[in-house]
Every structure is written in C-alpha cells, then in structure tokens.
Amino acid sequence: MNPKHMTQNLSGVSLLCLMALVLSFASCDNGAKAKRQKDMDDLKAYIQNQKDSIDQYADRNWDELQASYEAKKAQLEQDTAKMDAEMRAQYYQTVSDWDAYKANFERKAEEKKALAGMDAIRNQLAMDGMRSDFTDLTAANILPAYDHFVAVVDSNRDNYTKEQWTVVNVSWKALKGRKREISKDINADLMGKITKKELEYVGIKAVNRPFADNEEDK
C-alpha cells in the first residue's frame, strides 16, 4: 500500500476514534446531567411533601426528617461544581427552602408542645371524669370542683408562668360561668361555701402578682 494512502487511512481512523470518544463523553455527561436533574427533582418533591404536611409531620422526630433530606442531598452536594449556572441556582434555592421549612417545623412543634402543656393544665384543674370546660357540673358536684380547682392552683402557684396563669384564669372564668348557669339549683348554704373558695382563689392570686392578675376573673 502506498505510504501516503496508509497515512491518510490512519488519519481517518484516528478521526473516527476521536469523534467516537467525544460522542461517548458527551453521552456520559448528558446522562450525568439527567441524573442530577432527577436527584434535584426528587429532593424538591421531598421538601414540598414535608411542607404540605407540616401539621402531620410536626409530631415526627426531626432527626429522621433531616436524615432523609441529607441522604437525598448528598450526591447533589458533591456535584455542585459540575452543575451549570441554572442547576446550581436550583440547588441553592432548594437548600434555602429546606432551611425555611426547618424553621417553620420547629415553630409548629413548639406551638404544639405549648398547646399540649396548656391542655394538661386545664385537665389538671378539673376533677377526674369532669370536662375541662366544666359544662357537666351540677349543684351536686360544683363544690368539690371548686375545692379541687383551688387546691391545684395553691399547689402550683409558685411554678406557673405568666402564660400558664392566663390558662388558669380562663378556666376559672369557665368554672364561675357554670356556677351562674346553675345558680337556681344552688342553695344559700352551698353558695356561701363556694364564695369562700372564690375568696381563697383571689387571695392566692394577690400573693402571686404580677403573673396572676393579668386576667379578670369576673
């Protein structure tokens, strides 16, 4: 074979090999980019699902949610240098969305914890088997209800926070409101004993100012 022709053939083969190599690299890069986009979409969908269900998930352990997030984020975090500007912006926005969700989650969790604590106080102020709003009280059991309420407040008066005193005072209003509703069934002797309990409660509040007097009890 003519050396010139051989050289031309070899050059042609080399060019074909180079083109194949370039196409191979391009294909791999496109595949990697497609995978990164899928990972990004999965991460965004995960965060959106949590945001849509925050009231439900606020009861879950935060570490579990964070672990799932970190697992989905891990590969993307390693590939930020390989991302184009648009995808990198998506990634950092997604991370920012998670941080915002975390702050909202923690706020909701604290709110639920506070509400649970307030419910516990209301339940503690009512006798066992009695509704915490006292709507089931009758003339037959209203004095024991007053006795119980005042005794619980007296035992905890040095521990109540300002917010907890607010709950106590609101419950006190409900108790007195129920007394007024059934007053026609309460005889004078029983009403006198109830009045003594009311004065006792006022005395407890007087000692615990300024926390105890932030709600009118009338």
Q: What is the pLDDT of residues 114-138, one digit of tens each?
A: 888 899 999 999 999 999 999 999 9
pLDDT of residue 76: 84
Distance between CA atoms of 149 and 167, rounded to whole angstroms? Answer: 13
Looking at every residue in the chain, the average pLDDT score rounds to 83
Contact by Cβ (8 Å): 122, 167: yes
Under-70 pLDDT residues of the chain: 1-31, 56, 58, 209-218
pLDDT of residue 10: 46
Distance between CA atoms of 120 and 115, rounded to whole angstroms? Answer: 9
Written in H, E and C, the secondary structure of the chain is CCHHHHHHHHHHHHHHHHHHHHHHHHHHHHHHHHHHHHHHHHHHHHHHHHHHCHHHHCCCCHHHHHHHHHHHHHHHHHCHHHCCHHHHHHHHHHHHHHHHHHHHHHHHHHHHHHHHHHHHHHHHHCCCCCCCCCCCCCCCCHHHHHHHHHHHHHHHCCCCCHHHHHHHHHHHHHHHHHHHHCHHHCCHHHHHHHHHHHHHHHHHHHHCCCCCCCCCCC
> φ and ψ at 15, to 5 degrees?
-65, -40
pLDDT of residue 30: 59
Per-residue model confidence as pLDDT tens digits over 159-195: 998 889 999 999 999 999 999 999 999 999 999 999 9
pLDDT of residue 23: 46
> Which amino acid would we find at residue 149?
F
Q: How many CB atoms lie within 10 A of CB 57?
A: 19
0.85 exceeded by pTM: no
pLDDT of residue 182: 96
C-alpha distances out from residue 124 to 24, 133, 156, 172, 207, Å? 72, 12, 11, 13, 21
C-alpha distances out from residue 113 to 116, 121, 130, 175, Å? 5, 13, 23, 25
